[in-house]
A and B are shown apart, each in its own frame.
Chain A
Amino acid sequence: MAAPVVQVRDVIHRYGDTLAVDGVTLDVPPGRIVGLVGPDGAGKSTLMGLVAGARRMQEGEIEVLGGSLRDARHRSAVFPRIAYMPQGLGQNLYMTLSVMENLRFFGRLFGLRDADSRARIDALLRATRLDPFADRPAGKLSGGMKQKLGLCCALIHDPDLLILDEPTTGVDPLSRRQFWTLIDAIRDSRPDMGVLVSTAYMDEAGRFDTLHAMWHGRVLGRGSAEELRKRTGEETLERAFTALLPDGARDDRPPLTMPPRPDHGGETAIAARDLTRRFGDFTAVDTVSFDIPRGEIYGFIGSNGSGKTTTMKMLTGLMPATEGDVSLFGQPVDATDIGGRARVGYMSQAFSLYGDMTVRENLALHARLFRLDARQTRDRIADLLDRFDLSDHADAGAGDLPLGLRQRLSLAVAVIHRPEVLILDEPTSGVDPMARDAFWRILAGLSRDDGVTIFVSTHFMSEAALCDRMALMHAGKVLDEGPPAEIAARHGDGDLEAAFIALIEQADGGGAEAAARAARGIEMGPAGQDTRSGASAALTRALAYAGRETVEILRDPIRLVFAFGGTVILMLIFAFGISMDVEDMKFAVLDQDRSPESRAYLQTFEASPYFLPMPPVADTDALVRRLRAGDTTMVLDIPPDFGRAIRQGRPVEAQAWIDGANTQRAGIVEGYVRGGHQSYLAEGARPGAGGVDVQTRWRYNPTVDSIYAIAPSVPAMLLMMFPAILMAISVAREREIGTITNFHVTPTRRVEFMGGKQLPYLGIGLVNFALMTAMAVFLFGVPLTGSLSVLTLAAVLYLLASTGFGLLVSVFTTTQVAAVFATMVISMMPTVIFSGMMQPVETLEGGARLIGSAWPTRYYMQTSVGAFTKGLGWDGLAHNLLWIAVFIPVFIAPALLLLKKQEA
């Protein structure tokens, strides 16, 4: 037999103190499909991430396709031969990109020639029946379609190893069946391909060649489904798995059967009449009606995107209905009715608790918000921790819990105020069988013992079978309603899953089964032998990232408007608003002399356009009062004997009192006051200092208008802030939503990823540069006297530095919030305050001067002012350009070094 595709030997993996994988050894032989089953937190996803090369190995050895994954060269050589689909619906997809754009992007990452790529995409789309939706954004696809598209993206190249992490979690039964048909078709056309797959569905596990039952990072047993059943002597695979568990971990209770429903009175708990919800011209929920009596468990099943979640949101009052109405216990549901909410508990599809708080804190917060007092809160928490079996985890962070426990906590939170109605939206999606069993035992207790009415949606037919009644929903309509056994009998010969598939295929006119047949017959011809390599492939990958980023930005018109409009608006208000030219400065006189001489002296100031005379001040007390109130900026105080002294030729002093609170303004005022005094002296040819005259030449800006300095300076500020923040968010976002995995598991190199993402923001920056330059010249009348080409070159370098800074911040931050916060806080001072706009950097003191000099804004600002106002070209600006250029590697090199090609 050929060598295994994957050989895992004694692999151990830790996250901090937590042992995730504890000495696992397994093989994936060519042509075989190897399955991993086990509860959440068993280490399945970690192991798959390691085999895919997305995570860095700690202990042990993994050989994939003939080489060790520790060898970075081998890794990059085999990436084109591995296909990896991470856990989560559409986790590797870009939601604003269309189906076709997603596929093309992956094609470029794997170096496919465009013609080959096109043929391959056509074949994949036909096989998955996604071809009618080629232009639909991935975010608008249903869950099942997203998974199929995810698979297509993974299969765009010819893999020898396919790694699928819970590919069918959260997917309806029909789409699941279609998914596996597709996998079979692909395996037929690539008989030597090894497949490693994990699943929470035991019926799926039955189709794998070898199964590894995992628990707490270890493999408890391996073999085919048949062998496992035989070895444990159990009838079902589910029981066989339970039997493998060590003593104490086993749940030896008999399988859950729902006890009969006691009579809670005939009261109707939930009633919906012709409930309809439209989004634009799309009808998500179409005239749905039902009546649910108190204490009933009502199951809601249906295909992905059939309108289940929307219906449930309308039941809670979170979303208003377009038509029809809902009532709870006879009271119409009203979004503004606060009191009515206390009767309802809601658990949404996504985990919506506070991950940074402990289990106990989450419970306490919700108890308090439902107005339990301190004592009730304590008792209720103790009761729920016990009843939901969460006591061991009471002080663990909610975000660190395995999925099954998290869902149990979510349920505990939803029932903390003893609601009469529970609305649960796919509460067990992705949860392992044992945890699901525990969850449903709690639901049974709530319904049967406490008379709670439960409205629950699920994709598990075994759970649907436990409900008292169920509704089957498809494309916004309820297809059938009734007790599960009746529905199964009516449409599926007693099998609920068969009934589901039959009903939906009937509704779709049999198209779905035809699709499955089409997939089976398809030939997945080779992806094309002639892939790009070397520099051409690297450039293609970088451009693929650049192109994708550009499309994403263009699809977000608001971001686009802000990115360009914001610059224009800020340029406008700053160029007008930042000014050191003070006019109409409020000044008052305290003339204690009232002689012709004193009036002549004051006349010089009153006639000046800079000063705006205010009512005179009566005495010294009033002087202080006026300045304190801030309605007078300067007071001229003329002493009583001013006129006499002048007439007698004695020296005399006038006093000027300036409001010194705002030092900036006080400085300017002082300059004007002294200027006024000088002109008084000059005017009367009163001797100043002998025969000396100081002749001032205002260079570059003869009128000393602020605009000549500010208009060229503002772009330096904006071309730093905008690109840096946009850049930092763009990378942090990939990390937050998980698409960074595509960088981890494709042949993309760091420099290609970063350079590619940088390019569009460089483009945006240059457009902004052009806009602001045009505004300076044509709107503010500041001529560009120097070299435009040198200024443009400086702008390119500067933008590389500012986006480089954004990249550097993004390497250190994991969330978008942190990226925004860190970029703003770090760049604000050196960009706005220490850059030389308000005050030349040379004149700053100490740390401020250092920071201002160690930041590119200063040098670009000097370049811009030099090019605009001083008429400088290459000779005068070269040293500044050099400085700006120095910052590019200073920011980007550490970013490149610190960006991890693998996860921890």
Chain B
Amino acid sequence: MRRALGNIWWLARKEILGILRDVLLLGLVVYAFGPGIYLQSNAAGESVNNAAVAFVDNDRSALSRAMQDALHGPWFQRPDLIEGSEIDAAMDADLYTFVVVVPRGLESDLRRGRAAVVQLNVDATDVSQASVGAGYVESILLRAVRDTLGGTLPAPQVDLVVHRAFNPNGNNTWFEAVSGLLNWLTILTIILTGAALIREREHGTIGHLLVMPITPFDIAMAKVLSNAAVVFAAFILSLVLVVQMALGVPVAGSVPLLLSGTFVYLFAAAAVGVLLATVARTMSQFALLVIITVLPMMILSGGMSPVESQPQWLQYLTWFLPSRHYMAFAEGVVYRGAGLSIVWPEFLLVAVLGAAFLGVALALFRRSVASA
């Protein structure tokens, strides 16, 4: 046991020295956790952000102008005025997500108590913006009508006030920051760990290690821990300097809890890297495996689209992605201020999945070395 710890320590130390001397590699890590996170977090402030709107104003009244003025930033761009004949071409060319058609005589009809219809065209291929945005446009237009025409119209009796817990302004930066951290943790750890192992095999140094009193377990653990440690250091710096200071995202829960959960996740991601590297024979095979693994980990873990929206069979599959549980864990700690008593199942799952991947990797490892 003590011997294994000594081996792992010395091998891991060598590994870290190697990474710190690789300028290109370090540069890319810094880019990812610095500008990468910053850009992604600031990409969109709100759920509906800067959406492009056009008006076909057949009324040219004070009311129709008030309706246009009501649509403003940060949710909407200033509406463009277009002709009715231009709608199809403009929407085909992706110029606008929403086109509002105001009928001739809207204001006068309403003032006379007649019913009127405002048409809202939505480009439903922008699925993320379309349904939420349409709701926004509708309520904003209705409110503009009410405000402009004042007391001539009855107010709705039942109103619904929507609150967002944990992130009152629906600030996307917060969410994107954590989602971005997850992405880079996953990508960097898997590639670094796996590539380090493949390089060692391609250069024959692994055979050299295996004639020494070192077990495959020592080698794999050293790779896992050293690469996880490097990414962990980058994560801490990014969390403090970029996420908390530059982006001003508050961490509601316990930072030590977040850090320990992150280290456990890094362990799991590095184990996935080792597993991929033992399955792949060459660097090109490894690269393909990385794409096939990392993209789902990024996209299907809840950071880009909700896990609940996945069909049930796929949810069973994504259950095996440690990133999905880490995302749930991080969301809980960072926004909801959840403590260990709430997030322990996710914490445990990430650890168990990581250990399982490492176990499978070790079983395959000897075999892959022997045939190298």
Complex contacts, A630 vs chain B, CB 8 Å: 328, 331-332, 336, 338, 342
CB distance from B195 to the nearest CB of A (A): 4
| Cβ-defined contact, A660 with B166, below 8 A | yes
Q: Please tell me if A628 contacts chain B, counting CB pairs below 8 Å.
A: yes
Q: Which of A316, A563, A627, A842 contacts B288 (CB 8 A)?
A: A563
A427 to B320, CA, bound (A): 47
Chain A residue at smallest Cβ distance from B121: A697
Q: What residues on B are CB-neighbors of A482 within 8 Å?
A: none
Indicate whether A691 sits within 8 Å of B161 (C-beta atoms), given known contacts A570-B292, A697-B121: no
Task: Contacts A646-B158, A654-B159, A695-B119 given; indicate if A576 touches B285 (C-beta within 8 A).
Answer: no
Q: Would B310 and A691 count as touching, CB distance under 8 A?
A: no
Could you say which residues of chain B place their CB within 8 Å of the CB of A369?
7, 10-11, 209, 212-214
| In the complex, A665 has a CB within 8 A of chain B | yes
B121, B124, B282 — most chain A CB neighbours (10 Å): B124
Tell yes or no: A839 within 8 A of B by CB.
yes
A658 engages B117 (CB within 8 Å): no
**Chain B CB within 8 A of A673 CB:** yes
Chain A residues 564 to 596 lying within 8 A of chain B, measured CB to CB, are 566, 569-570, 573-574, 576-585
Q: With A666-B164, A842-B52 as given contacts, are A696 and B122 in contact (CB-CB < 8 Å)?
A: yes
Given A660-B168, A693-B115, check contact A559 B285 (CB 8 Å): yes
B320 to chain A, nearest CB (A): 12
Q: Is the CB of A562 within 8 A of B370?
A: no
- A653 contacts the other chain (CB 8 A): yes
Min distance, Cβ B302 to any Cβ of chain A, angstroms: 7
Q: Could you say which of B44, B160, B287, B311 contacts A725, with CB atoms under 8 Å apart?
A: B287
Q: A697-B122, A733-B283 are in contact. Are A689 and B153 (CB under 8 A)?
A: yes
Cβ of B340 under 8 Å from chain A: no
Contact with B along A628-665 (1 / 0, CB 8 A): 11100000000000000110011111111111111111
Q: Are A681 and B94 in contact (CB-based, < 8 A)?
A: no
Contact stretch, chosen from A42-50, A384-392, A863-871: A863-871
CB neighbours (8 Å) of A687 from chain B are 153-154, 156-157
Contacts of B213 in A (CB 8 A): 338-339, 341-342, 369-371
| Given A578-B304, A704-B130: A661 touches B167 (CB 8 Å cut-off) | yes
Compute how far the CA of A730 lies from the CA of B211 in the bound complex, rounded to whole angstroms.
Answer: 33
In angstroms, Cα B314 to Cα A700, docked, is 27
| A562 and B292 contact, Cβ closer than 8 Å, known pairs A677-B160, A691-B109, A733-B284 | yes
Given contacts A317-B211, A817-B199, A820-B287, contact A704 B124 (CB under 8 A): yes
Asked if B126 CB lies within 8 Å of chain A CBs, one says: yes
Segment with Cβ contacts to B, from A201-209, A293-301, A527-535, A821-829? A821-829
Measured between alpha carbons, how far is A353 from B154 in the docked complex, in Å? 84
Find A356's partner among B21, B97, B119, B305 (CB 8 Å cutoff).
B21
CA distance A361 to B14 in the complex (A): 9
Q: Determine whether A324 belongs to the interface, using a CB cutoff of 8 Å to chain B.
A: no
Q: Which residues of A contact B318 (CB under 8 A)?
A: 577
* Beta-carbon contacts under 8 Å, B198-224 to A: 198-199, 203-205, 207-215
A76 CA to B99 CA, complexed, in Å: 61
Q: Is the CB of B288 within 8 A of A664?
A: no
A706 touches B159 (CB 8 A): no
The answer on a CB contact under 8 Å between B28 and A825 is: yes
From A844, which residue of chain B is reached at the shortest CB distance? Answer: B43
Contact with A along B67-97 (1 / 0, CB 8 A): 0000000000100000000000101111001
* Contacts A579-B305, A691-B115; A729 near B287 (Cβ below 8 A): yes
- Say if the beta carbon of A701 comes within 8 Å of chain B: yes
Q: Is the CB of B118 within 8 A of A692?
A: yes
Q: How many Å lie between the Cα of A661 and that of B172 in the bound state?
A: 9
Instruction: Check if A455 is an interface residue, CB within 8 A of chain B.
Output: no
Q: Is A753 an interface residue (CB 8 A)?
A: no
CB-contact partner of A843 in B51, B146, B192, under 8 A: B51
A357-B17, A663-B175, A845-B45 as given contacts; A577 in contact with B120, CB under 8 Å: no
Q: Chain B residues near A646 (CB, 8 Å)? A: 157-158
Q: Is B368 an interface residue (CB 8 A)?
A: no
**Complex: A583 Cα to B36 Cα, angstroms:** 33
Q: Are B160 and A674 in contact (CB under 8 A)?
A: yes
- Whether A442 sits at the interface, judged by CB under 8 Å, is no
* Interface contact B211-A673, CB-CB below 8 Å: no
Contact A704 B127 (CB under 8 A): yes
Q: Are A660 and B165 in contact (CB under 8 A)?
A: yes
- A:143-183 near B, CB below 8 Å: none
Question: Is A570 in contact with B296, judged by CB distance below 8 angstroms?
Answer: yes
Given contacts A655-B163, A842-B50, contact A725 B288 (CB under 8 A): yes
User: A829-B36, A843-B44 given as contacts; is B157 within 8 A of A686 (CB)?
Assistant: yes
CB A824 to nearest CB in B, in angstroms, measures 6
User: Among B131-139, B230-238, B257-265, B353-361, which stretch is in contact with chain A?
Assistant: B131-139
A284 to chain B, nearest CB (A): 13
In the complex, chain B residues whose CB is within 8 Å of the CB of A407: none
Within 8 Å CB of B306, what residues of A?
579-580, 582, 662, 664-665, 668
Q: Are B370 and A320 in contact (CB under 8 A)?
A: yes
A821:B25 contact, CB within 8 angstroms? yes
Q: Establish whether residues B195 and A821, one from each chain, have CB atoms under 8 Å apart when the complex forms.
A: yes
- Residues of A contacting B141 in the complex (Cβ-Cβ under 8 angstroms): 692, 694
CB distance from A440 to the nearest CB of B (A): 22
Closest partner residue, chain A, to B139 (CB atom): A674
Bound-state CA distance A820–B124 (Å) is 36
Q: Which one, B134, B165, B199, B302, contacts A696 given CB within 8 A?
A: B134
Q: Does B247 contact A (CB under 8 A)?
A: no
- Size of B's binding interface in residues, CB under 8 A: 157
Shortest Cβ gap from A524 to chain B (Å): 37
Distance in angstroms between the alpha carbons of A653 and B31 in the assembled complex: 48
Measured CB to CB, the closest approach of chain A to B107, in angstroms, equals 11
A769 in contact (CB, < 8 A): no
Judge whether B208 and A348 touch: CB under 8 Å.
yes
- Chain B CB within 8 A of A241 CB: no
Q: Are B156 and A666 in contact (CB under 8 A)?
A: no
C-alpha gap A692/B164 in the complex (Å): 29
Give B160-202 interface residues, CB cut-off 8 Å to A: 160-168, 170-172, 174-176, 183, 187-188, 191-192, 195, 198-199
**B39 contacts A585, CB within 8 Å?**
no
Bound complex: CA A670 to CA B188 (Å): 35
Contact for B338 among A628, A840, A843, CB less than 8 A: A628
Within 8 Å by CB of B50, from A338, A694, A733, A845, lies: A845
For chain A, residues 439 to 472, give those with C-beta under 8 angstroms from any C-beta of chain B: none
Let me know if A834 is at the binding interface, CB within 8 A: yes
Instruction: Judge whether A615 is part of the interface by a CB distance below 8 angstroms.
Output: no
Report the nearest B residue to A635, measured CB to CB: B165
User: Does B290 make an interface contact (CB < 8 A)?
Assistant: yes
Residues A666 and B170 in contact in the complex (CB < 8 Å), given A580-B128, A733-B283, A838-B304:
yes
Neighbouring B residues of A318 by C-beta, 8 Å: 207, 210-211, 369-370
Say whether A282 faces chain B, with CB atoms less than 8 Å apart: no
Give CA–CA (A574, B77) in the complex, Å. Answer: 31
Identity of the chain B residue whose Cβ is nearest the Cβ of A642 in the assembled complex: B158
Chain B residues with CB under 8 A of A817: 195, 198-199, 283
B123 and A825 form a contact (CB under 8 A): no
Tell whether B317 is near chain A: CB-to-CB under 8 Å: yes
Q: CB within 8 A of A562: which of B13, B48, B288?
A: B288
The verdict on B34 contacting chain A, using a C-beta distance below 8 Å, is no
For B317, list chain A residues within 8 Å (CB): 573
A628 near B305 (CB under 8 angstroms)? no
Q: Give 30 A-B contacts (CB < 8 Å), ordered by A residue.
A: A318-B207, A338-B214, A354-B18, A356-B17, A361-B14, A562-B292, A573-B317, A576-B311, A577-B296, A581-B127, A653-B159, A655-B161, A660-B166, A661-B331, A661-B334, A661-B336, A663-B171, A690-B113, A690-B152, A691-B115, A693-B115, A694-B119, A695-B117, A701-B124, A725-B287, A825-B32, A845-B49, A848-B39, A848-B40, A848-B42
Using A563-B288, A584-B308, A870-B91 as known contacts, list a sample of 8 further A-B pairs with CB atoms less than 8 Å apart, ordered by residue number in A: A582-B309, A681-B156, A686-B156, A692-B145, A698-B124, A699-B124, A733-B284, A840-B94
